[in-house]
């Protein structure tokens, strides 16, 4: 049943008027970032404790391949599912799926258990992070979408960086298994408790849809496309959607490099787990902190300029990492990469939101996030094979820099400005 005029007023969109719910969703995504961040330093740097040979790069990458395949597929499922049963229920399912992660890592006799843990991590991240960003977009006014996505991604990736640092120190003091067990279970418990105060934002979506119909004078809803038709349209047929999706894949290939091979690369150069944690942490925290303004910047000047600058900086930071060879320089290149990610990452999804019809937003964003996070699996496979074939990590870094540069050029040629205030 469509919402009444009274309901439309009750579900008025805007970050300020919905600040309590918006803040609760922001806290949720902070917890989501802590869960994935707890793995990004400790597990690759200490993989030898789980029986992984130091040069078995493809086998090492397998835990991210499993994560990417599951998260990518379930991002698509989560989007359509949340349009049908609501955002909050999918968020709850995601946190329940997170419970086995620290337990499997703690009891793991070998790396196969870590691969299994990351299947659950893929479910957790697909359902929880997708729902927080979708809910915050639901709550926001049209001109605030970039800001909403920026805040969401900022808090998530600040948490990723902080968790990488924190678990690095905890692993040195208490061992990697105990550090990840206690850290993970505490965060999941807090997130589940917080759900009691969160409202489902699907009501705001229906109110927005009714308002759009009233403005256009059309009170009849167009038939909603099937999930498969939406997938094909977003993935292959529409020029703008297709270009944005490949951009999502490319930035996740870069993030796969940081997650899987950077810790091993720096360990080969004599750095310990704490210094490695600082490099990967700076990357994630610059990425996170800068998104507080990069999303808002795109609301003012449009999506294209920050996205294209982001791809250029990310590629330059990757090349810089390959060219330098000491800790302070790697901190600097990590910061450049983080700034590049901050410029491109929230604004790719904001651009998708600009052109997605409200009632199909969950499904369309789910398709985009399918391709973006399948980039983890694609990156793990490609970069793992390149490193395994060459027995070095440096060629994988150069390949990633090239992929990112080509992806930025593709977007520059194929995507027009999508932000309604700048068209």
Domains of the chain, earliest start first: 11-214+224-414 (1.20.1250.20)
**Region 138-152: what's the mean pLDDT?**
85
107 by Cβ neighbours in 10 Å (0-12 / 13-18 / 19+) ranks as exposed
Tokens of 200: 């489902």
The pLDDT confidence band at residue 298, using thresholds 50, 70 and 90, is confident
**Is pLDDT above 60 for 226?**
yes
316: which 2 tokens? Answer: 């330059």
The C-alpha atoms of residue 92 and residue 138 are separated, in whole angstroms, by 18
pLDDT of residue 242 exceeding 70, the answer is yes
Whole-number Å distance between alpha carbons of 264 and 356 = 40
| Cβ contacts of 258 within 8 Å, gap of 6 or more | 40, 280, 283, 337
Read off the pLDDT of residues 27-42 as tens digits, 9 standing for 90 and up. 999 999 999 999 887 8
Ramachandran region, residue 217 (left: φ > 0; alpha: ψ -120 to 50; beta: rest)? left
The residue with greater pLDDT, 272 or 190, is 190
Distances (CA, A) of 34 to 75, 194, 273, 349, 397: 19, 15, 18, 21, 26
Angle (CA) 298-344-31 rounded to 5° is 95
Q: What pLDDT was estimated at residue 1?
A: 44
User: Model's pTM, two decimal places?
Assistant: 0.86
Closest CA to 383 of 65, 54, 72, 117: 65
Residues in the chain: 423
Q: Which of 192, 81, 75 is nearest to 126 (CA)?
A: 75
Q: Above 60 in pLDDT, residue 297?
A: yes
pLDDT of residue 209: 61
Mean pLDDT of 88-114: 95
Query: How large a percentage of the chain has pLDDT more than 90?
Result: 63
Q: Which structure tokens are listed for 421?
A: 């205030």
Distance CA 274, CA 383 (A): 24
Which pLDDT value is given to residue 216?
A: 58
- d(CA 374, CA 250) in angstroms, rounded, equals 10
pLDDT at 24: 97
Rounded Cα distance between 270 and 257, Å, is 19
User: Are 408 and 315 spatial neighbours (Cβ–Cβ below 8 Å)?
Assistant: yes
Q: Does the pLDDT value for residue 141 go beyond 90?
A: no
CA distance 345 to 34: 18
Alpha carbons 297 and 274: distance in angstroms, whole number: 34
**Ramachandran region, residue 175 (left: φ > 0; alpha: ψ -120 to 50; beta: rest):** left
pLDDT band at 392; cut points 50, 70, 90: very high
The answer to whether 106 touches 181, Cβ cutoff 8 Å, is yes
User: What is the mean pLDDT of the segment spanning 104-124?
Assistant: 95
pLDDT(303) > 70: yes
Mean per-residue pLDDT, 413-418: 89
């Amino acid at each position: 049943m469509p919402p009444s005029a009274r309901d439309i007023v009750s579900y008025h969109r805007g970050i300020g008027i919905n600040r309590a719910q918006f803040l609760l969703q922001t806290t949720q995504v902070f917890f989501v970032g802590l869960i994935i961040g707890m793995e990004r330093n400790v597990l690759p740097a200490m993989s030898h404790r789980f029986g992984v040979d130091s040069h078995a790069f493809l086998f090492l990458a397998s835990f991210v391949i499993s994560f990417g395949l599951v998260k990518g597929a379930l991002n698509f499922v989560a989007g359509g599912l949340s349009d049908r049963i609501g955002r909050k229920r999918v968020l709850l399912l995601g946190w329940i799926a997170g419970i086995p992660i620290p337990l499997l890592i703690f009891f793991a006799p070998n790396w196969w258990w870590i691969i299994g843990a990351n299947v659950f991590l893929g479910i957790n991240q697909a359902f929880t992070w997708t729902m927080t960003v979708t809910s915050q977009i639901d709550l926001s006014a049209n001109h605030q979408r970039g800001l909403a996505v920026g805040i969401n991604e900022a808090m998530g990736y600040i948490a990723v960086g902080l968790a990488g640092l924190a678990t690095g120190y905890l692993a040195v003091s208490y061992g990697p298994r105990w550090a990840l067990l206690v850290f993970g279970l505490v965060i999941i418990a807090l997130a589940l408790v917080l759900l009691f105060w969160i409202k489902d934002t699907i009501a705001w979506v229906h109110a927005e849809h009714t308002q759009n119909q009233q403005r256009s004078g059309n009170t009849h809803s167009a038939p909603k496309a099937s999930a498969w038709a939406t997938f094909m349209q977003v993935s292959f047929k529409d020029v703008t959607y297709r270009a944005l999706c490949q951009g999502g894949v490319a930035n996740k290939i870069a993030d796969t490099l940081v997650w899987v091979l950077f810790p091993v690369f720096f360990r080969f150069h004599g750095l310990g787990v704490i210094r490695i944690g600082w490099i990967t942490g700076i990357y994630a925290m610059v990425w996170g902190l800068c998104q507080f303004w990069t999303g808002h910047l795109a609301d003012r000047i449009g999506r294209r300029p920050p996205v294209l600058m982001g791809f250029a900086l990310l590629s330059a930071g990757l090349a810089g990492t390959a060219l330098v060879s000491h800790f302070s320089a790697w901190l600097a290149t990590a910061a450049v990469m983080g700034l590049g990610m901050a410029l491109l990452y929230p604004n790719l999804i904001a651009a998708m939101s600009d052109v997605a019809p409200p009632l199909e937003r969950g499904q369309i964003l789910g398709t985009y996030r399918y391709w973006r996070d399948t980039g983890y699996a694609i990156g793990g496979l490609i970069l793992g094979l390149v490193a395994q074939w060459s027995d070095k990590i440096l060629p994988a870094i150069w390949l990633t820099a090239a992929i990112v540069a080509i992806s930025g050029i593709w977007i520059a040629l194929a995507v027009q400005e999508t932000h309604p205030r700048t068209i």
